[in-house]
Amino acid sequence: MRIPSNPLVLIGPAILVVFAVSFAAVWVRDRRHQHLLFLGAACLLFCTGTLSQILAIPDGDGVNAVTSALIYTVSVLLLSDGLLRRSGARLPWVSYLIVPALIAGAIAYFYYIDRRLVVRIYLLNFGYGLIFLATAWRLRQLRGGRLPEQILFWVLVAFSLHFFPRTVLTVGATPPAAGDFGSSPFWLALQFSLAVLGVALALAVFAVTVSDMIETLRKERSTDHLTGLSNRLGFEEAANRLLRDARAWPICLVIADIDRFKSINDTFGHPAGDAVLRAFAKLLKETARRVDLSGRLGGEEFALLLPNCDTAGGYAFADRLRSIVRQTRFEGLPQSTYVTASFGLVIASRGESLSSLVARADKALYQAKRSGRNRVEIDAESLAAPAPARMPS
């Protein structure tokens, strides 16, 4: 083991340990963010690789070069995998076998067979830069995401690109002298750039993680856990935003209510009733367009807000959903038992509040109930409104 003459070289590894512990601590607090384990492991392994070189463990230049390269490569893969997993992607598991084997093998070749330090430097730095650039390419959708996601993407791009000019400018075609490698411009620039851009990348990941946790809490607050649809609060927040969007007009609101739902609970039990609610919500989501808003207002009452939809389009949608519900056999109910639903439909007026819109739709729904159920009713104001040309396909 070699004792470093300048203890300042240990600052980088110490920072990496702090980030590794921080990532693990956040994961312990919320274990849904499993990508943080990959990021923490990446920091810890990169710290191990750095210490391997600084302290000359294992001893011997050749075995140390191969060992540190192997450790660095796995840490780079873990970092890339963690960033990908945060966005729902991942590295193929075989990457953890093939990439380290190729890089460690190349380092061994250019040390033991054709000794070229400059080739080893370019191989590692350009290789890692390409791995990170490939990761950034797979995460390019973050450019249109929330502000923390955009920051993370561009910091990752900068971190990926810096491997190329830094290596060329500090190494060129002449490798550092073996005895002065730890004080060479290449090594000092490497430590400085990793300290600056590495910390920036870690902080960007933390910012995105905090944003993710806030978004998760917001979704939990506005989601109906039985059906997975928005609850009343979530639906109202999203609906009010849509009503303010001039591009969404005309807008149609449909209120749906499962007929005689209380008798389903009383006859077949609440588990069967819950199964009906979940299945109804699934039918609703499958029938609606991607731009439509859907939510469970409470009990067996559901709402859909349809942008760019006129009276005819809204009626066609509601009647299609009514027919699908009537033809569906629901889990937990006898095959001879049919479930039906009634619908109230309104077209929004300019400047009308959501509460007024819902009240009119409820009146139309009550009319459907009084008229025999399993039907769609349109309120009088919507029938009298001029028919725009746009409707859902």
pLDDT digits (tens, 9 = 90+) for 281-303: 999 988 888 888 899 998 899 99
390 within domain boundaries = no
> Contact 344/362 with Cβ under 8 angstroms?
yes
393 within domain boundaries = no
96 within domain boundaries = yes
355 within domain boundaries = yes
Instruction: Tell which wins on pLDDT, 24 or 178.
Output: 24
Active site residue 300: yes
32-57 pLDDT, tens digit per residue, is 888 999 999 999 998 898 888 778 78
Overall average pLDDT of the 129-155 stretch: 94
Residues 94 and 204 in one domain: yes
115 within domain boundaries = yes
* Percent above pLDDT 70 for the chain: 88
Task: Supply the mean pLDDT for the chain.
Answer: 85
Overall average pLDDT of the 110-127 stretch: 90
Residues 242 and 276 in one domain: yes
Residues 269 and 288 in one domain: yes
Residues 183 and 239 in one domain: no
Point out the domain boundary residue: 175, 197, 221: 221
Point out the domain boundary residue: 168, 202, 221: 221
1 within domain boundaries = no
Among 4-8, 62-66, 134-138, 288-292, the range of highest mean pLDDT: 134-138
Residue 237 pLDDT greater than 50, yes or no: yes
Tell me whether strands 301-307 and 251-258 are parallel, antiparallel or unpaired.
antiparallel
Q: Which residues contact 48 (CB under 8 A, 6 or more apart)?
A: 71, 75
362-393 pLDDT, tens digit per residue, is 999 998 888 888 989 888 776 655 544 444 44
Residues spanned by the domain of 135: 7-221
Catalytic residue of the set 149, 215, 286, 300: 300
Instruction: Tell which wins on pLDDT, 175 or 253.
Output: 253
Residue 250 pLDDT greater than 70, yes or no: yes
> Contact 182/176 with Cβ under 8 angstroms?
no
72 within domain boundaries = yes
Overall average pLDDT of the 92-120 stretch: 93
SS3 letters across 196-254: HHHHHHHHHHHHHHHHHHHHHHHHHHCECCCCCCECHHHHHHHHHHHHCCHHHCCEEEE
Tokens of 146: 């929330």
Residue 135 pLDDT greater than 90, yes or no: yes
Instruction: Tell which wins on pLDDT, 393 or 77.
Output: 77
Q: For residue 192, name the pLDDT band (cuts at 50, 70, 90).
A: low
What is the predicted pLDDT for the residue at 206? 86
Question: Which of 59-63, 93-97, 134-138 shows the lowest mean pLDDT across its residues?
Answer: 59-63
> Contact 390/309 with Cβ under 8 angstroms?
yes
Residue 139 in 3-state DSSP?
coil
Residues 112 and 166 in one domain: yes
Question: Which of 2-11, 98-107, 237-246, 259-268 shows the lowest mean pLDDT across its residues?
Answer: 2-11
What b/e string do you get for 322-352 counting C-beta neighbours within 10 Å, with b at 16 or more? beebeeeebeebeeeeebebbbbbbbbeeeb
Number of other CB atoms surrounding residue 225 within 10 Å: 8
Residues 87 and 20 in one domain: yes
> Contact 332/275 with Cβ under 8 angstroms?
yes
Residue 268 pLDDT greater than 50, yes or no: yes
Tokens of 262: 């209380």
Point out the domain boundary residue: 176, 193, 221: 221
Residues 48 and 132 in one domain: yes
Residue 193 pLDDT greater than 90, yes or no: no
Residues 62 and 108 in one domain: yes
Q: Cα separation of 324 and 287, whole Å?
A: 9
Residues 270 and 367 in one domain: yes
Residues 64 and 27 in one domain: yes
Count of structural domains within the chain: 2
Q: Cα separation of 346 and 368, whole Å?
A: 13
227 within domain boundaries = no
What is the predicted pLDDT for the residue at 382? 62
Task: Kindly report the length of the chain.
Answer: 393
Residues 99 and 183 in one domain: yes
149-152: long-range contacts (C-beta < 8 A, 24 or more apart)?
149/208, 149/211, 151/204, 151/207, 151/208, 152/83, 152/201, 152/204, 152/205, 152/207, 152/208
What is the predicted pLDDT for the residue at 51? 83
Residue 181 pLDDT greater than 60, yes or no: no
What is the predicted pLDDT for the residue at 288? 87
What pTM does this model have? 0.68
Residues 70 and 138 in one domain: yes
**Residue ranges in the chain assigned as alpha helix (H):** 11-29, 35-54, 61-86, 95-108, 117-138, 147-161, 163-171, 185-221, 232-243, 261-268, 270-287, 311-327, 354-370, 380-384
Amino acid letter, 367: Q
Q: How far apart are the first and last CA of the chain?
A: 72
- CATH number, domain at 286? 3.30.70.270
